[in-house]
Amino acid sequence: MQSYQGHLKKMAIEHEGDQAQYFLRLDDQRIPLNGTIGQPLSIRFMGEIHCVECGRKSSKSFSQGYCYPCFKKLAQCDTCIMSPEKCHYDQGTCREPAWGETFCMQDHVVYLANSSGVKVGITRHTQIPTRWLDQGAMQAMPIARVATRQLSGLLEVIFKQHVADKTNWRALLKQDAMPVDLAQVRDELFEMCHEEIEELQAHYGLQAVQLVYDGTESNFTYPVTQYPTKVATHNLDKNPLVEGKLMGIKGQYLILDTGVINLRKFTAYNVEVNL
């Protein structure tokens, strides 16, 4: 076994060929993981968390890696990031207008994905397919392109009246999702929601809200040799040592024979990893 130490970041994922390729990230280290499946792995929390923004030592992580002062002041930690339809940039109250212009005032994609069943989601156009891989999607397809993050949220609100907008993470980690005809789901959504979509287009313009009728479906597979029959979770805050045999990786989860751990949840935790 080899030992590594550093602050956790969400895993890097590449999809080339048949399967997603995972890399553990600790500060600037990037460690390939696919070749370690079937082998023992341990993660020990060293008791320190350092904010991903300012580096301040923090007793608790907020919004996946931030200290409390940064959590309260940064635009990327505001509630409108989780609920884009609540964007208040046009009211002049954005925490960081320059950041909002760069991050939110750019093209976003509304998509359908099949991780634990069909769900609707949003992402910046530059984050495809990374966003889908982070969610453990087996299938994904863009269904609309919009001019701003707020518009993606408004369109998602319309669609989520008829389809889920959250992944059932327990189902995700128990089995592969059954294939779904995403094109058919898209067409049904467009039909059910056409009046609300037209109202959105009438208000913001046809160019700002463009439906995608011919989006290409992407398909993904993940390096999992065995799914758990019962999903138990590891929590570094409650138990600083996680040990077990690595049985697979999906989304941002490591699947061990002793339980699963969402590495993204522990961003900025200083850990020692042996694998």
Going by pLDDT thresholds of 50, 70 and 90, the confidence category of residue 219 is: very high
Percent of the chain residues topping a pLDDT of 90: 98
User: Token match 């989006």: residue?
Assistant: 215
Q: What is the pLDDT of residues 47-99, one digit of tens each?
A: 999 999 999 999 999 999 999 999 999 999 999 999 999 999 999 999 999 99
Nearest to 121 by CA among 251, 241, 16: 251
**What would the mean pLDDT of 245-273 be, rounded to a whole number?**
98
Contact 194, 218 (CB under 8 A): no
The domains of the chain are located at 3-67+223-274, 106-219
26 φ, ψ (degrees, to nearest 5): -125, 105
C-alpha dihedral (221, 138, 77, 85), degrees to nearest 10: 160
- Asked if 31 contacts 274 with a C-beta cutoff of 8 angstroms, the reply is no
Are 273 and 3 a contacting pair, CB within 8 Å? Answer: yes
Q: How far is residue 199 CA from its own chain's centroid?
A: 30
How does pLDDT run across 248-261, given as a tens digit for each residue? Answer: 999 999 999 999 99
Give the span between the Cα atoms of 213 and 234, in whole angstroms.
42
Name the pTM for this structure.
Answer: 0.95
Strand partners, 123: 109
> Quick one: pLDDT band at residue 1, thresholds 50, 70, 90?
confident
Please report the pLDDT score of residue 18 as a whole number: 78
Residue 251 region, left (φ>0) first, then alpha (ψ -120 to 50), else beta? left
| Type of residue at 191 | E
Strand partners, 24: 31
